[in-house]
Structure 1
Amino acid sequence: MDMLGVLDVREPPVIELSSIDPEQVELVGGKAAGLAALTRLGERVPDGFCVTTGALSRGEVPRAAVLAAYERLGAGPVAVRSSATAEDLPDASFAGQQDTYLAVEGADAVFTAIRACWDSLHTERASAYREAAGIAHDTVRMAVVVQRMVDPEAAGVLFTANPLTGSRSESVVDAAPGLGTAVVDGAGAADHYVLDGTAHDERGCLTSARLKELREVGERLQSRLGAPQDIEWAYDHDGTLWLLQSRPITTLFPAPPASGLPGPRLYVEFGHVQGMLQPVTPAGMSTLKEMLAGMLASFGARVDIVDIGGRLYGDLTDAMRDPVTRRRLVKLMAVDFGPRAQAVVEHLLNDPRFAPIPGSRRRNTAALATAPKAVAGILRALARPAAARARVFGTIESLRQQPVADPSSAAELLPLVEQAERRDAGHDAVTWPVVTGILVAASLPALLKDIASEDEIRTVLAGMPHNVTIEMDLALWKVARNAGPHRDLLLGTPPDELAAAHLAGELPDFGLTGFLDIYGNRCAAEVDVGVPRWSEEPAPVFAALANYLRVTDPDQGPDRRFERAAARAEAMLAELVRRARRERPVRGRLAGFFLRRARELAGLREAGKFAGLYALRDRRRRLLLIGAELRAKGLLEHADDIRFLTLPELRAVVVGGDDPRGTVAERRSHYAKELRRRTVPVALLSDGTDMETLLPARAPDGRTLTGTGAAAGRARGRARVVRDPADAYVEPGEILVAPTSDPGWTPLFLTAGGLVTETGAVMAHGPTVAREYGIPAVISVPGATELIRTGQLITVDGAAGTVTLDAPESDPDRDADAGDVSASRPLAGA
């Protein structure tokens, strides 16, 4: 869009900072608007003026207006600073991406510096930053700020929250004598202070009185501006503090909501257990909180579920302080939440803030009420596993074929959406066989202690039958075999175009329609009701089909790989039974029973989630029907905008007639920002501290990355870094490197030679499927998608839990993801 079309050409090309309205960002840019806000708050800011974006649009420096404003400043040394419209934003700081010039003196030098600031809008680093932040180049314009130069005794940067740990209880100051350029450009050592409200020794270039003043200023600005701030400051030789900039800290993960409870709280992230890193939509969050609360209550557990940054976190503080449950938490974390969460809990067990509180244990009446039903269900499944499986799959098929009956109006649909999930007889038919399989598999290490290694037990749990996700992937492999005559079409057409053609009925039917009839309610991040299902957007399925069609060696086909894994599992089972009976006969018979029950029931672990998808299918369908009606009434731009409303907000729209468009636009922007987030803390304290930042650092090794072995085996191959499975390309034998994985990712496993993820738990969906395909997997490798490049040769050792990197090669086809651009930023005005 041409900005001259939206800017008022009658606006003066130069505006005094004191006359700027902080809302005039499109005219003066983010930095000038921020300085104007500080001035209006009564803070001490150097005088100056702004050359507006309209002046740049006209193409010439407004020399007469600039000269007059410069002379009003005294025509002495000034700082000339870029102020782009996409700068100092809540989610993009653009620190150091555009130019600043200090101690500029003389009219001609000022004109030259203004022109250079304009030109810096289009530098390679600024363009790369915009692309990483998802900001379109043609929407950004540049203004320029000119301010009277401060002659500083000391200068630096103040963060009102700790940018390394995320703690909102600490402020951080970096300072240096003079201009402070050592602070912002990294050219020299700076004095570093962490302020937590306690007294500081006299050291460095700042006195304790000045540190106290900086902390107070930071607290004041954070309170008045509504977010943690990144503040540039300078003390002149008279001891006067000048503020040169204040903008939101853009790198912080959101802090937990206030709980109103005493002491620090511990929150552990639930999403990565499901192999889900992306944020949950507001509609999805409402549904998931309800489902999780119901599921945990059925097992007698009480965990407060909170939304932090669009992710699900559980408050485990009470369990940490309970004298009994705290001893079981470490093991629970290892099995269900992964090694990263386990390390955090182990660390906090020695933290006096989470010390056990005698007498705090409460009688769990819900668990006692559930116990008889649980015991009966588990014994029934152990006694007759085939009948248990029949009940599970019979219930799933009944849910799939349940007739659709929807009212015609939003007012009638809304109560159906709001209804809590009903716990009927079908729930028990699925739950207890699934729980039995999980418990039997979990009991094997203790039962086979000193008899079998972890790798041998994992071998028994590979190639597992009766797993709905494995059956789904193998069904898609069969579709790929049937699609052979259409190979050129499927390999030569982008997945999104194939998806559009399929939905329009323009593709030949090679079995995909039948596949989507059964599995079309699946997708990546499928537990979020706000995410489109494969039946709606089948592009990821076509991407997977293209990968399968590249497998030309029948012996490397996933069906044969699965058969080989199953054969190895059966052979290992027989060997372990013989070994156990030889050493301890009675225990050996018991081990044989549990090993076989594991093979018969452990594969059901995916069935519970799969059955729950039908309730989500119905809720999503009804939400979209309501959305379509609201769109027709002009209350939504698109029917699926409804996913950005919570259920109470939706009721206010349907019943009360509220206009939700402003809320939807704000939520959509926040959701897009969170989709770009590469890392999500696995555990947070209530003040926002990312607990992993406080753990002892691992010993550095330039070539070996350490995680947790989750599927036995060793594989060497080219890495393929994938962050979105929608259009992923994975050659047969490549090592899939991903931030996480859920069932929507598992079709990629069929061609992969190994798996590396940044999150996960040994018993989560992704590692489970990897074991059953017989491919090695290493999970919870911090920064794997950044440290490993597509095309790089790596070795995955699922037994050792390591990923070894070969020396980097010069390969033009390697992944060139730049991520965030790191660059120094000039300290303007100091």
Structure 2
Amino acid sequence: MRRGQVRRTGGAGGVLTAESATAVAADVRNVARHFGTPQDVEWALDRNGRIHILQARPMTAVPEPVSWKPPGKGVWLRNFRMGEWLPEPVTPLFMDWLVPLIDKGYNEAVFRSSGISIPMGHAAVNGWYFVAPPSPTTLPHMLFSGSLRPLPYIFNSVLRPMVDPAGADRAVLGGLEQEWRNVFLPRYRSLAATRLTGAGTANLPELISLVEQIARAAGEYLWYFSAAGGAAWKMEAVLARFWRKHLAPGLKERQQETPDAGGYQVLLGGLMPKPPPRLPHAVYSLDWYQPTAGEEQQSRGDGVEADGRNAAPAAAATAVERRQAAEAACRRLLQGTRRLGRFDTLLAVAQHYALLREEQARDFTLGWPLLRRCAAQIGAELTLAGVIDRQDDVYFLTRADVRTDAPPQQDAVSRRRADWLRQRKLDAPLILGTLPILGNAFERLADAARSTRKAPPGALLGHPASPGRARGRVRIVDSPADFSSFQQGEVLVARATAPAWTPLFASAAAVVTDTGNLAAHASLVAREYGIPAVVGTGNATRMLRTGQLVTVDGNAGTIEPDED
């Protein structure tokens, strides 16, 4: 890419602002897409900041394209299990040490609850985490081999929520929630809290033991999170079918009596009595390389409420009012019919599990402050031993290198760090292989939520995750470093969001993510704040640019670029 006639006028700043650089990159991608091959582009920037493409020629000496082949048989998903919490490539030590431990803790918890083991493959493809759920051909063998005793449990926890949510709650899921709340969660909190003070003085074997305890506990937590809170989207699907069959036609006829609900999702918004709390253990990414929210606040000298973003926006109150009005309209329509009782039962269980899912998401990373302290101390020990040069090089080791008698690893660390930095620039696909049954289920639920199947020309399409329509300027947010630049009324565009991102929702006009589905963090929190959300777009962070004016339609699942 060539620069036009742009000159530095003095000072230490760059030639281009971040917004202009992003706009140039977006225009160059459009040129390459038009010609079907990478282009050497010459451009200019006028006094008004408008970019002009002057000429384009095919590039020579283009690097070899990156291959995204599945690492094994079946389908591999980036947006499943831990994938939603990993919006960028994983560091080597996380993938080589923590991921197997979390996976082990998860599988052990599944076996204790159900009596069977359903392992899933996991791998890093070009540095990005992918997981392989059981295929339709292997799952029956896992379920029917050996004893048949686990089958009722699997039916009630996996399949029944899709047809009879209240029955699944009574049979299995309600008990799992109570076990998580009364037994496991206090134990996990105790492990995270009581060990925090000891990590700074522990020796290397003790630090390794702490890491393994926390990681396996996180895996056990992931089971409760997946089975109980993870049932929320299945229950939502049942509510969506009921809405479409028994409510939507009648509500349309009585439009004068009903606010613009935006579909069944209005019934699942505005459920929290107050905005979610800001928690020091919240994370931006599950990879322990990234600081926790508490560390970020401490480094900026912030208090927990310092930026004022935990206050409920006016839209959140509107979400409560819209939900209550929609509930009342539904009950008026069903009054005097047997379907009213069915509606109330479906609504109660769907709302309960939507709240449970977000509650469980908030405390999943209770152990991450301890993991970070352990990693820092391990890094210090290995630096003293001459294994690495700097403390934070520890994240670019493998598990086999975590010993004081290991040979110097700096060359390998430097190579892996460079690979990781390069991989962060890649557009990783959401799916490798053929879309599984699970993926189709999410697509069907998205279609049920979509107000129209016709997307405007030039619009990006994703899952309609939170109803409403909003217009605003895009702000691409890649990491916590970008949080302070986010302005009131902007459209938050990110690869994915996790609980540490929640404070930004109070200022956002709308939310758009590359990954996620209708059970993702962005979907559920956007509904609580009463703002539109479109998730699972695949590449919104690449196709949009900071400062661009867009309209986000959370009913249709579209993002339309506007003319300034």
Q: What is the alpha-carbon distance in structure 2 between the residues aligned to residue 426 and residue 794 of structure 1?
A: 39
The alignment status of 1:411 with 2:205, answered yes or no, reads yes
Shift of 1:590: 2.4
Verify the 8 A CA contact 1:721 1:790 in the aligned structure 2: yes
- Tell me the residue number matched to 1:379: 170
Query: CA 1:594 to 1:367, structure 2 compared with 1: closer, same or farther past 3 Å?
Result: farther
Shift of 1:753: 0.8
**3-state SS of the aligned residue for 1:319?**
coil
Question: Which of 447, 451, 456 is the matching residue for 2:263?
Answer: 456
Verify the 8 A CA contact 2:92 2:397 in the aligned structure 1: yes
- Tell me the residue number matched to 1:520: 280
Question: Which of 386, 402, 405 is the matching residue for 2:194?
Answer: 402
Task: Give 2:207's aligned amino acid.
Answer: L
**3-state SS of the aligned residue for 1:619?**
helix
Task: Give 2:288's aligned amino acid.
Answer: V
Shift of 1:308: 0.9
Q: What is the alpha-carbon distance in structure 2 between the residues aligned to residue 730 and residue 631 of structure 1?
A: 37
Query: CA 1:443 to 1:294, structure 2 compared with 1: closer, same or farther past 3 Å?
Result: farther
Q: What is the alpha-carbon distance in structure 1 between the residues aligned to residue 58 and residue 498 of structure 2?
A: 41
Task: Give 1:268's aligned amino acid.
Answer: L
- Tell me the residue number matched to 1:601: 353
Task: Give 1:463's aligned amino acid.
Answer: G
**3-state SS of the aligned residue for 2:429?**
coil
Question: Which of 120, 131, 136 is the matching residue for 1:314?
Answer: 131
**3-state SS of the aligned residue for 1:715?**
strand
- Tell me the residue number matched to 1:329: none
- Tell me the residue number matched to 2:400: 648
Q: What is the alpha-carbon distance in structure 2 between the residues aligned to residue 775 and residue 754 of structure 1?
A: 5
The within-5 A match list for 1:228-247 is none
- Tell me the residue number matched to 1:558: 312
Aligned residue pairs, count: 466
- TM norm structure 2: 0.69
Q: What is the alpha-carbon distance in structure 2 between the residues aligned to residue 764 and residue 634 of structure 1?
A: 43
**3-state SS of the aligned residue for 1:524?**
coil
The alignment status of 1:592 with 2:344, answered yes or no, reads yes
Shift of 1:751: 0.4
The within-5 A match list for 1:350-369 is 363=144, 369=150
Query: CA 1:452 to 1:548, structure 2 compared with 1: closer, same or farther past 3 Å?
Result: farther
Q: What is the alpha-carbon distance in structure 2 between the residues aligned to residue 423 and residue 730 of structure 1?
A: 31
Q: What is the alpha-carbon distance in structure 1 between the residues aligned to residue 222 and residue 546 of structure 2?
A: 44
Shift of 1:782: 4.7
Task: Give 1:532's aligned amino acid.
Answer: P
Greater Cα offset, 658-667 or 397-406: 397-406
Q: Deviations over 1:748-784 (max 9, x none)?
A: 1110111122322121111211111110112233543
Q: What is the alpha-carbon distance in structure 1 between the residues aligned to residue 385 and residue 369 of structure 2?
A: 25
**3-state SS of the aligned residue for 2:150?**
helix
- TM norm structure 1: 0.49
The alignment status of 1:443 with 2:238, answered yes or no, reads yes
Verify the 8 A CA contact 1:293 1:303 in the aligned structure 2: no
**3-state SS of the aligned residue for 1:536?**
helix
- Tell me the residue number matched to 2:556: 800
- Tell me the residue number matched to 2:89: 279
**3-state SS of the aligned residue for 2:372?**
helix
**3-state SS of the aligned residue for 1:558?**
coil
The within-5 A match list for 1:116-515 is 185-186=57-58, 248-249=63-64, 251-253=65-67, 255-257=69-71, 259=72, 265-270=74-79, 274=84, 276-285=86-95, 286-292=97-103, 294-295=105-106, 298=110, 300-316=117-133, 319=135, 321=137, 363=144, 369=150, 372=153, 378-379=169-170, 391=182, 398=190, 401-404=193-196, 405-406=198-199, 408-418=202-212, 421-422=216-217, 433-435=228-230, 437=232, 439-453=234-248, 455-465=262-272, 470-473=275-278
Query: CA 1:601 to 1:266, structure 2 compared with 1: closer, same or farther past 3 Å?
Result: closer
- Tell me the residue number matched to 1:613: 365
Verify the 8 A CA contact 2:123 2:130 in the aligned structure 1: yes
Q: What is the alpha-carbon distance in structure 1 between the residues aligned to residue 556 and residue 240 of structure 2?
A: 17
Task: Give 2:414's aligned amino acid.
Answer: A
- Tell me the residue number matched to 1:209: none
The within-5 A match list for 1:55-74 is none
Task: Give 2:342's aligned amino acid.
Answer: L
Q: What is the alpha-carbon distance in structure 1 between the residues aligned to residue 127 and residue 376 of structure 2?
A: 21
Verify the 8 A CA contact 1:301 1:367 in the aligned structure 2: no
Q: What is the alpha-carbon distance in structure 2 between the residues aligned to residue 700 and residue 457 of structure 1?
A: 20
Q: What is the alpha-carbon distance in structure 2 between the residues aligned to residue 676 and residue 423 of structure 1?
A: 29
Verify the 8 A CA contact 2:469 2:552 in the aligned structure 1: yes
* RMSD, aligned α-carbons: 4.4
Q: What is the alpha-carbon distance in structure 2 between the residues aligned to residue 577 and residue 541 of structure 1?
A: 50
Task: Give 1:659's aligned amino acid.
Answer: P
Q: What is the alpha-carbon distance in structure 2 between the residues aligned to residue 445 and residue 429 of structure 1?
A: 24
Verify the 8 A CA contact 1:279 1:671 in the aligned structure 2: yes
The within-5 A match list for 1:725-740 is 725-728=480-483, 729-740=485-496
- Tell me the residue number matched to 1:666: 415
Query: CA 1:628 to 1:731, structure 2 compared with 1: closer, same or farther past 3 Å?
Result: same
Verify the 8 A CA contact 1:755 1:777 in the aligned structure 2: yes
**3-state SS of the aligned residue for 2:505?**
helix
Verify the 8 A CA contact 1:540 1:727 in the aligned structure 2: no
Q: What is the alpha-carbon distance in structure 2 between the residues aligned to residue 449 and residue 291 of structure 1?
A: 39
Q: What is the alpha-carbon distance in structure 2 between the residues aligned to residue 773 and residue 410 of structure 1?
A: 45
- Tell me the residue number matched to 2:505: 749
The within-5 A match list for 1:703-782 is 703-728=458-483, 729-782=485-538
Query: CA 1:608 to 1:645, structure 2 compared with 1: closer, same or farther past 3 Å?
Result: farther
Q: What is the alpha-carbon distance in structure 2 between the residues aligned to residue 431 and residue 265 of structure 1?
A: 21
Verify the 8 A CA contact 1:755 1:776 in the aligned structure 2: yes
**3-state SS of the aligned residue for 1:252?**
coil
Query: CA 1:611 to 1:570, structure 2 compared with 1: closer, same or farther past 3 Å?
Result: same
Q: Deviations over 1:620-663 (max 9, x none)?
A: 3222212111112232222221111222332xx33x43322222
Q: What is the alpha-carbon distance in structure 1 between the residues aligned to residue 93 and residue 530 of structure 2?
A: 37
Verify the 8 A CA contact 1:636 1:660 in the aligned structure 2: yes
Larger RCO (alpha carbons 8 Å, 6+ apart): 2
Query: CA 1:402 to 1:435, structure 2 compared with 1: closer, same or farther past 3 Å?
Result: farther
Q: What is the alpha-carbon distance in structure 2 between the residues aligned to residue 614 and residue 284 of structure 1?
A: 17
Verify the 8 A CA contact 2:281 2:293 in the aligned structure 1: yes
Shift of 1:682: 1.1
Q: What is the alpha-carbon distance in structure 1 between the residues aligned to residue 219 and residue 57 of structure 2?
A: 63
Task: Give 1:707's aligned amino acid.
Answer: G
Q: What is the alpha-carbon distance in structure 2 between the residues aligned to residue 368 and residue 447 of structure 1?
A: 32
